[in-house]
Amino acid sequence: MSTASAGLAKKNGYNNVRVYLDGEPAWMENRLPTYSTKEFILNGNVVLIDIRPRKEAMAGRIKGAYSVPYEELEDKLDDVPRNAPIVLYGNEEVMDAVNDVRDMDFNFVSLVRDGYDGWVKSGGEVDKGPIFRTEIQWVRKLGKGEVSVADFRKAVLGQDKDAVVVDARTKAEIAELGIFPNTINIPLDEISARMNELPKDKKIYVHCSTGARADMAYNELVKNGYNAKFLLLNIKDAECDCPIIRP
């Protein structure tokens, strides 16, 4: 996130904003953790996994969590879509688990802050006793403002003439990685100044590299009267499957 993007985040209601200039790729490369909010765990379409031994999970686990001991994790996640948000908690092996899941190419991997004990202290609901949730099943559900991959792909391929695709990544990212066809590049930092370039009588589909910046751009466009949606997906994900114009 750049300083200009941080300003836009504040404008959108975020109160405690700091800038890490090296960005998410450097954070992940350094094997650093990210944490999910309680609200996201409760209401997000997440895969919540308790990696502790089953005996511990039977004594008490977060309500709705799958019980998948660490040694079974890779096996159980094998057939889960890579854009599923994975939220983990457990014992001293939990950071190893986070890095293992990232190495399996999952795009969104985070932790429950302070684990099971922290959840209990926060008043979160728990389950006890026999465990039935051991086989992971996850189906993507669109959140507020999201565009489906299928509709996004139609716009990129030029099959939906009523939709305009906006790439909110930086010019440097596009120079390195390329851009989708039928796409306008307006970096997130420039959305406020350049939104007048976009038609208000068409659908606007915004994307970035993972969806975070696209979400902020979407909120800014909607507040200014645009019929906008955003793509919450890592564009390297095979599900996207859109052609890329290389620089």
Contact 90, 52 (CB under 8 A): yes
Beta bridge partners of 88: 49, 111
The reply to whether 240 belongs to the active site is no
How many alpha carbons lie under 13 Å from residue 26 in its C-beta half-sphere? 5
* Region of residue 190 (phi > 0: left; psi between -120 and 50: alpha; otherwise: beta): alpha
Contact 142, 148 (CB under 8 A): yes
Distance CA 78, CA 46 (A): 16
- Tell me the three-class secondary structure of 93-159, residue by residue: CHHHHHHHHHHCCCCCEEEECCHHHHHHHCCCCEECCCCCCCCCCCCCCCCCCECCHHHHHHHHCCC
Give which of 140, 131, 138 is closest to 48, Cα–Cα.
Answer: 138
241: exposed, middle or buried (Cβ count in 10 Å: 0-12, 13-18, 19+): exposed
| Given 41, 68, 191, 208, the catalytic residue | 208
Catalytic residues: 208
